[in-house]
Amino acid sequence: MNEEQEELFGQYVAEFALEYDLKLNDDDIMKAIELFDECTDRWSSDSDASIYEIANDLGLKEDDEDIIEMISVVWKRIHTN
């Protein structure tokens, strides 16, 4: 992520968490960053992998559904601006 993306990432994650009343701890934030970065890497090379496939490859579980949904929204917001 470049500096601008980092700022937007933090802003959009905070907005999403507030809107959906999510309590994110440090581990959740690290999972979110890792998922965001992996999605960016894969999708920039035109991969057709779903975010759920990418999350599964990273070891995220059903307990992480909120993080997966959040990153889906955040990634789209950052990369469509």
Residues 6 or more apart from 42 whose CB is under 8 A from it?
49, 54
**pTM for the model:** 0.91
Return the number of other C-beta atoms located less than 10 Å from residue 76's C-beta.
Answer: 12
Q: Does the pLDDT of residue 80 top 90, yes or no?
A: no
Q: Residue 45 has what pLDDT?
A: 85
Give CA–CA dist 51/67, Å, rounded. Answer: 11
Q: What digits encode the pLDDT tens for the residues 19-75?
A: 999 999 999 999 999 999 999 999 988 789 999 999 999 999 999 999 999 999 999
